[in-house]
Amino acid sequence: MNVTPKEKTVNLMFILPALILFLVFNFYPLLRTFQLSFYQWNGIDKDMVFVGFAQYKDILFNNPAFWKSMLNAGYVTILALTLQNGLALLLALLVNRQIKGENIYRVIFFLPPVLSGIVVGLIWKFVYDGNFGILNHWLISLGFTDFKDFAWLSEIKTALSSVAVVHMWKGFGYGFIILLAGLQTIPNELYEAAEVDGADKWQQFKHITVPCMIPVFTIVTILTILGSMQIFDLIYSMTRGGPAGYTHVPITKIYEYMSNGEFGYSTAMAIIFGMVLLIVSFGQLYVSKKFNR
Amino acid sequence: MRKSLLLKVLLLAFVVAVFGCSQKQEQQIDDKNVVKVWHWMTDRQAAFDKLAEQYYKETGVKVVFETYAPTDVYKNKVTAAASGQLLPEIFNPLSDKRELSSYIKAGFIEDLTDEMNAGWKDVFFTKSLEQNKFEEGNEWGVKPGYYGVPLDVSSLMIYYNKDLFVQAGLDPNNPPKTWKEFIEAGKKLRAANIQPFVSGFGESWLIGAFASSYQWSLFGKQGILDTIDGKIAYNDPRWVRIFSLLNEMKENKMFAAGMVTMVNKDAERTFATGRAGMSFNGSWGVNVYKSMNPNLNYGVMAPPVLEDAKYPLLIFGGDGSAMFVNAMSPKKDKAIAFLKWLSQRPQQSFLAKETLNIPSNKESAQDLPEVLKVFSESIANTFENLPKLEAWQVTNYININLQSVMIGEKTPKIAADEVQAEKIRQEKAKK
């Protein structure tokens, strides 16, 4: 098909607004972020001091707190990948059996993800509260009296896991919806044929559901990794990185540095963090492609 | 023909979308009789609006107060506005002196020295002015002078619940004065099944403010400056002692449940609802407790002194909220005129009455209720102005390690050693 220059111009005009918005609000900030990461700047001074890779070097080799925060995010991510997605898959499989009130379950399970993270964090903070939290109230009424005044978010052993539980509660609905949509695209004929061949439910799941769902698992896994590694609002509203820095994650560290006027340093942190996420995501894609074959 | 029409419509929509907002902005900026103020204390909005209304009647100048909370969001908004040169006529960057100096050197903040020396400064508490004053030879290279206008003053003391004190067998009219008495009071409160002490130590500045009083008490001004210069190490026995104070409180079960991650609003709620005997909090607490529990029966005491300390115990405080004039604004004269009006006795007394904060105007402070007078008198004992500051990373590390000691994760000695290691790391990074 021949496209005339005039038609080309018209076509270009259609994408121009989106292109300008993308360049202004995505590409330019990204470029500036890269540029800023080579400077020492507090966001106010007129002059920015060029420091080259010094900030990168400091983050990579001399900032254990940042890497500790990365491990914390990794811990939350591993819990989300296993427990959260396991629960999401289980519920999706149950709802996919065309049970009564399927749509009601969909709505209920999808409610937590659409709630504001800060609001969810504040509500759960009350649940975990050592003084008048409902969790301790239940535990004590069940006979676990040791939990009197137990502050879940202030104990090193429980703080991060407590936040991770809320993160999983808030996040499993996304996985549930995507997995359910994936399950519904698998042709019923495959299961019928397998049944005729004498395959039991477990064999059907193993040889039909899982292979057909690999592309969906890949998407859910990547979204879970990106969402969990970038956790911020729950940490901010529940612990602010405490106790004693034990629940800091990369985004809260970046926020901390930026709030203290370290714009260059925090953007260098953000770029390193972005690189880590890219590597993990590409790794996951590579693995899933291998499985697909 | 139809294509061309569609194209024109699309282009028109794009132009309107892109330039529509900026025209509105321009229109607002052109309004020569509007002075915009950004503040972070949303609870004062009503009082500010009333004052603005009065000022408009008197002068014809419209003052618009815009309040934003929480403070870190407000602070980020100011930073972003400064980068885009969109600051209002009056604002506060909520910064320490180091950052404030950047605002001044970048030309965002007006030098008010001439105005202050022409008699304006005489109306204020000296301590409240000092916090935004730059001395000759300051390490940031800022031209010496006055830059901020204090709107009110504040200090941090210890509130105690008189009813709970009686319940624990303590004298409500004779609160603890020394550290030993303080710990004893804590023990008695705990024995009476009352949480002895609460504060928002999850907010690092608050735990830092508590510990800083003892830093002043054990080191004095020169000692603090020597520590910043690296002449005194952070694992000096006096620093270990400061960490040990928190450890002693922990050993005696003085902390309320979850205090290490508690924000101050939650700590205020805990104290206001009678769930803790004592609370380290600022003078603004008077207003907060009134709104949370008007019947709360409490008194106020200074942080307990260390009997063997070489220097007086000073407390965190000074200016509560200072205002700065945008030096780039064409309406800066109107902004200064408004601030002069706002710092006069009638307006300051009105603000004090409405918001239960201590006015920065010395004369207005005379009309305060008794409990606020205690705070007002304590202003003279607040930290002195320092010509240099510790790196924020080190300060942050101190606060984190104070939290570690609170929860028993580190011993005072280990915590002090780790702060010193961070100090060395920062020194190296600086070089």
Give dist(CA A201, CA A205) in Å, integer: 6
In B255-378, where does DSSP find H-type helix?
264-272, 285-292, 332-342, 345-355, 370-378
Which residues of chain B are within 8 Å of residue A150 when distances are taken between CB atoms? 257
Whether A237 and A121 have beta carbons less than 8 Å apart is answered as: yes
Give dist(CA A50, CA A37) in Å, integer: 9
Q: Is the pLDDT of residue B411 over 90?
A: yes
| pLDDT score of B24 | 47
Per DSSP bridges, beta strands B195-198 and B276-282 are parallel
Name the token pair of B345: 């006795």
Q: Is the pLDDT of residue B395 over 90?
A: yes
| pLDDT score of B29 | 45
From 1.10.10.10, 1.10.3720.10, 3.40.50.300, 3.30.950.10, which CATH number describes the A79-292 domain? Answer: 1.10.3720.10
What value, to the nearest 5°, has the Cα angle with vertex A99 and ends A94 and A101? 115
Buried b (16+ CB within 10 A) or exposed e, A264-293: bbbbbbbbbbeeebeebbeebeeebeeeee
Kindly state whether B3 is in contact with chain A, defined as any CB-CB distance less than 8 angstroms: yes
Of B73, B98, B71, the closest CA to residue B205 belongs to: B71
Whether B307 and B130 have beta carbons less than 8 Å apart is answered as: no
**Interacting residues of B298 by C-beta distance below 8 A, sequence separation 6+:** B159, B160, B161, B162, B289, B371
**Interacting residues of B324 by C-beta distance below 8 A, sequence separation 6+:** B90, B91, B92, B93, B103, B109, B110, B132, B147, B148, B149
If you average pLDDT over residues B190-196, what whole number do you get? 96
Stretch 387-426 of chain B: residues touching chain A, C-beta under 8 Å? 392-393, 396, 400-401, 403-404, 406-407, 409, 425
At B282, which helix (H) or strand (E)?
strand B276-282
Q: What is the dihedral of CA B397, B401, B402, B405, to 10 degrees?
A: 180
Kindly state whether B429 is in contact with chain A, defined as any CB-CB distance less than 8 angstroms: yes
Of A46, A244, A260, the CB nearest to B407: A244
| pLDDT score of A168 | 96
Kindly state whether A233 is in contact with chain B, defined as any CB-CB distance less than 8 angstroms: no
Of B304, B186, B199, the closest CA to residue B253 belongs to: B186
Whether residue A260 and residue B407 make contact (CB cut-off 8 A), yes or no, is: no
Q: Give residue-wise pLDDT tens across range B284-313.
A: 899 899 989 999 999 999 999 999 999 999
Of A56, A62, A58, A55, the closest CA to residue A40 belongs to: A55
Q: Going residue by residue through chain A, which has 293 residues, state the pLDDT in tens, using 9 for 90 and above.
A: 678 888 889 999 999 999 999 999 999 999 999 999 999 998 888 889 999 999 999 999 989 999 999 999 999 999 999 999 999 999 999 998 877 887 888 888 889 999 999 999 999 999 999 888 899 999 999 999 888 889 999 999 999 999 999 999 999 999 999 999 999 999 999 999 999 999 999 999 999 999 999 999 999 999 999 999 999 999 999 999 989 999 999 999 999 999 888 999 999 999 999 999 999 989 888 887 877 66
Query: What SS3 state is found at B198?
Result: strand
Of A62, A35, A60, A34, the closest CA to residue A48 belongs to: A35
- Best residue of A44, A135, A152 to probe chain B, by most B CBs closer than 10 Å: A44
Whether B147 and B110 have beta carbons less than 8 Å apart is answered as: yes
Residue type, A50: F
Give dist(CA B160, CA B297) in Å, integer: 9
Which residues of chain A are within 8 Å of residue B392 when distances are taken between CB atoms? 260-261
| pLDDT score of B27 | 44
The residue whose two tokens read 């001004």 is B221
Backbone angles phi, psi at B284, to 5 degrees: -65, -20
At B151, which helix (H) or strand (E)?
strand B149-161
- Best residue of A53, A260, A263 to probe chain B, by most B CBs closer than 10 Å: A260
What value, to the nearest 5°, has the Cα angle with vertex B250 and ends B244 and B251? 85
Global pTM reads 0.85
Q: Predicted confidence band at B25 (pLDDT cuts at 50, 70, 90)?
A: very low
| pLDDT score of A42 | 87
| pLDDT score of A290 | 79
If you average pLDDT over residues B102-131, what whole number do you get? 92
Whether residue B263 and residue A149 make contact (CB cut-off 8 A), yes or no, is: no
Q: Is the pLDDT of residue B7 over 60?
A: no
Whether residue A45 and residue B79 make contact (CB cut-off 8 A), yes or no, is: no
Cis peptide preceding B369, ω within 30 of 0: no
Which residues of chain B are within 8 Å of residue A17 when distances are taken between CB atoms? 10, 14
- CA distance from start to end of chain A: 36
Whether residue B261 and residue A242 make contact (CB cut-off 8 A), yes or no, is: yes
Backbone angles phi, psi at A149, to 5 degrees: 65, 15
Q: Is the dihedral of CA B349, B351, B354, B359 positive or negative?
A: negative
Of A17, A44, A155, the CB nearest to B102: A44
Residue A240: exposure state from Cβ atoms within 10 A (0-12, 13-18, ≥19): buried
At A119, which helix (H) or strand (E)?
helix A117-128
Q: What is the rounded radius of gyration, in angstroms, for the C-alpha atoms of chain A?
A: 24
Q: Give residue-wise pLDDT tens across range A144-201.
A: 988 888 999 999 999 999 999 999 999 999 999 999 999 999 999 999 999 999 999 9
Whether residue B259 and residue A159 make contact (CB cut-off 8 A), yes or no, is: no
**Interacting residues of A186 by C-beta distance below 8 A, sequence separation 6+:** A208, A209, A212, A213
| pLDDT score of B4 | 61
Q: Give residue-wise pLDDT tens across range A225-253.
A: 999 999 999 999 999 998 999 999 999 99
Whether B318 and B97 have beta carbons less than 8 Å apart is answered as: no
Report the complex ipTM.
Answer: 0.82
Give dist(CA B108, CA B129) in Å, integer: 19
Domains of chain B: 32-153+319-376 (3.40.190.10), 155-316+387-430 (3.40.190.10)
Give dist(CA A112, CA A108) in Å, integer: 8
Q: Is the pLDDT of residue B21 over 50?
A: no
Which residues of chain B are within 8 Å of residue A149 when distances are taken between CB atoms? 257
Of A46, A238, A259, the CB nearest to B106: A46
Chain A nearest-CA distance from B107, in A, is 9
Please count the residues of chain A. Answer: 293
Please count the residues of chain B. Answer: 431
If you average pLDDT over residues B10-20, what whole number do you get? 56
Q: Is the pLDDT of residue B15 over 60?
A: no
Name the token pair of A155: 């104990």
Whether A70 and A276 have beta carbons less than 8 Å apart is answered as: yes
- Best residue of A154, A157, A234, A258 to probe chain B, by most B CBs closer than 10 Å: A154
| pLDDT score of B2 | 56
% of chain B with per-residue pLDDT over 90: 68
